[in-house]
Amino acid sequence: MTDNKPILIWGAGAIGGVIAAYLARAGFPVIAVDASEAHVDAIRRDGIRISGPVDDFTQALPAFTPDTITGQYDIIMLSVKAQHTETAVQQLLPHLSPEGVVLSLQNGLNELRIADLVGKHRSLCGFVNFAADYIEPGHILYGNAGALMIGEHDKGVTPRLQALESMLQHYHPDVRAVDDIWAYKWGKLAYGSLLFLTAVSDETIADSVSCPDFAPAFTRLVGEVLSVARAAGVAPLGFDGFDPEAFASGDADTARASLDAIADHYRHSAKQRSGVYRDLAVRKRKTEIDSQIGEIPRIARPLGLQTPVTDLLIRYIHEIEDGARPMRRENLAEFTAEAQRA
């Protein structure tokens, strides 16, 4: 499957840009496809620049917008924001070969929708926790390494998954093909809810999650998402300091220890704030709240579960998106008080 045939990276921003640059540097024939004409023009002209504490290099790369790419491909790695998934999949479908696969490298449970659109046998799942920021056209900050795992929708590590694992190990040797990807995808969704909550404040992820005053809110929020995961038949797994068991235990000290470990992970990163913060404060655009975190109540309701703390988070982020609530530390105190009453 990976026999020197061109690979598309569809959405070559922060995450897709890093993967594209590393794979191209390793000699894979990678083509970037991105909706931003300015980004595509810069990559074509100067290559893609990866900067930061992990690496600093510029990689030449062919790049196209979705309407100018031609041909059919066996591997398309998709890394657009969750709310752009459906449009991107409709655009990429004519370029996916009959035996080709779309590997999602995104937060959220987008693979469920991708499988509906391309067929489950042509959809592979990804869990990403490395950190990167789109700085300007052609330039990505790679903040720190983090977990990256891939899997089939159903159990089993297939030869095609192993081939992709070997390829992605050129990005980082710790990339793993796993047979329980949903345990990580749901783990990241619970952790993602925590990241969204840090973005109601203008402080860093580390400062927010390590503050004892706010620990009850983070703990209740993450615990609630984990309960939905379990009701949906998934036992989430941890990574990079995040220990789901600690949040499910109901023991405040155990949860605090995991919050401190998460804070420690980010203290070593050049990306101190989440992608959510970046959407709100820097790029001034809507976040993935509805398509990523909104899935949690949508899945919970038919299972007879309420999600009051997640609903509260969605309200706060909408208020910030709508300009009705400034991003500030006080929001975390207010959220903590409201979450305890919810």
Ligand X SMILES: CC(C)(CO)C(=O)C(=O)O
Ligand Y SMILES: NC(=O)C1=CN([C@@H]2O[C@H](COP(=O)(O)OP(=O)(O)OC[C@H]3O[C@@H](n4cnc5c(N)ncnc54)[C@H](OP(=O)(O)O)[C@@H]3O)[C@@H](O)[C@H]2O)C=CC1
Calpha distance 196→70 (Å, rounded): 37
Sign of CA dihedral 184, 189, 194, 196: positive
Nearer to ligand X, 5 or 278 (CB): 278
Q: Binding residue for ligand Y (CB under 6 A) from 19, 61, 131, 228?
A: 131
When CB distances are held under 5 to 8 angstroms depending on the partner's kind, the choice from ligand Y, ligand X, none that residue 11 binds is ligand Y
Under rule CB under 6 A, residue 107 binds ligand X: yes
CA 157 from centre of chain = 22
- What minimum distance in Å lies between the beta carbon of 32 and ligand X? 20
Nearer to ligand X, 82 or 309 (CB): 82
Q: Which helix (H) or strand (E) holds 194?
A: helix 181-198
When CB distances are held under 5 to 8 angstroms depending on the partner's kind, the choice from ligand X, ligand Y, none that residue 187 binds is none
- What minimum distance in Å lies between the beta carbon of 59 and ligand X? 21
Under rule CB under 6 A, residue 134 binds ligand Y: yes
Count residues near ligand X (CB under 6 A). 8
Sign of CA dihedral 256, 258, 263, 267: positive
List Cα–Cα distances, 124 to 78, 106, 144, 154, 186, in angstroms: 10, 11, 24, 10, 15
When CB distances are held under 5 to 8 angstroms depending on the partner's kind, the choice from ligand X, ligand Y, none that residue 36 binds is ligand Y
Binding region for ligand X (CB under 6 A) out of 3-11, 21-29, 173-181, 271-279: 271-279
Calpha distance 6→132 (Å, rounded): 24
Burial of 333 (0-12, 13-18, 19+ CB in 10 A): middle
- What minimum distance in Å lies between the beta carbon of 184 and ligand Y? 12
Under rule CB under 6 A, residue 107 binds ligand Y: yes
Under rule CB under 6 A, residue 131 binds ligand X: yes
- E strands along 48-95, which residues? 48-51, 57-59, 63-64, 73-78
Calpha distance 12→20 (Å, rounded): 7
Residues at the site binding ligand Y, with contacts judged by CB under 6 A: 10-11, 13-16, 33-36, 39, 66, 79-82, 84, 87-88, 91, 106-108, 128-129, 131-132, 134, 275, 288
Instruction: Note the residues at the interface with ligand X (CB under 6 A).
Output: 107, 129, 131, 146, 195, 271, 274-275
